[in-house]
Structure 1
Amino acid sequence: MVDEGTAVPAYEQQPRVDPGALALATVAGAVAFIFGGGDWDLLAVVIGLMLLLILLAHHRPAPPTHTPRALLLRGAFGATTGLAFCIAVAPAIQFGIVGPYFHSEDPEGYSMDAWNTTVVMALLWFVVATLLAVFEPRVTRWLDRPRRSRSPYQTEEP
C-alpha cells in the first residue's frame, strides 16, 4: 500500500531532461551569442526567452537541506537561468540605455555599444544569478503550484 502523501506524481515517473546537459547547452548558446560580434538584436530576445522557458520547464527543485549539492544546484539554477534572462534583455539594454546615454566609439570610429552592453550584462548577470539562487525554493514552489481554472461554468465545491 502506498502512502498518498509520499507517492511520486505521474509526471515525475517519466524520464526527464538531464539538468546538467540543459545547463551546458544554455552556457554554450550564451557563449556563441556573446562572442558572435555585432549588435544584440531581436534574435537574442527570442533565444534568451526560449532558453529561459526551457530551463524553467525542466527545472528540478534542489533538496531543501543545506548540503553542498543543494547549494550547487541552486547556484547552477541561478547562473543558467540568469544568463538566459540577461540574453533576453540585452537588446533593451543596448538600445534603451547604453546607446542613448553611454554611446562610445573606438579610435577607428566603430561603435562600442555592443561591447559595453556585454559588460553591463556581466554585472547584471551576477546580480540576477545571485537572486535566483537565493530564491530558488520560492521559484520552484511557484512553478509547481496548481493553477485554478476561473471558468464561469465551474461550480465551487463546499
Structure 2
Amino acid sequence: MISYQKGVRIINKNELFNKVIVFTTSVHRVTHDLTYNIKSHSLTTLQYKILEYIKVSQPVTLSDISECQHISMPNTSREIKKLKEKNLIKKISISEDRRKQSIYLSEEGEAMMDEAFEIIKSRFLDRIQNTSEKDLEEIRQALEILQKKLFHP
C-alpha cells in the first residue's frame, strides 16, 4: 500500500523488507540455475563456493571467508588447507604478523574459476537472449542502484 503525506510518497518499510526477501530468494534460485553442476567433481560444494568468493573478492582472509560462508574458523581453516593441497589457492603472509595471511587463487585456481565463469556467462546470456536493449539498460541501472544502495560494503 502506498501512502502520501503532503504530496510526498511514504515508503512502507515492512513492504520494502518483504520485497527484499522475495528478491534475495529469487537471486538464490537464479544463482542455483546458473551454477548447477558447474563445480569440478574433485571439489565439494562448499569448496567451490569458497573459490568463487575468493575469485571475486581477492585478496581475502580466513575470517572474511568464515563470515561470508557462515562457517566456523576451524572449518574454514580445514577447507582452505584442502584447497591449498589441491593447488587451487595460495596464501601470502601479511607484513610482520605471520598469523595474518591474504588468500588468493593460484594459477590453477584462476584457470578453474575462469572456466566455471565462462559456463555461467553462457547460461546467463542464454537467459537474457530475448531481452530488449531498453530492458537490458534498465536491468543494468537497477543492479547499479542495488549494489550502491543496498549491497554496498
TM-score by length of 2: 0.23
Q: Say which structure, 1 or 2, has more relative contact order (CA 8 Å, 6+ apart).
A: 1
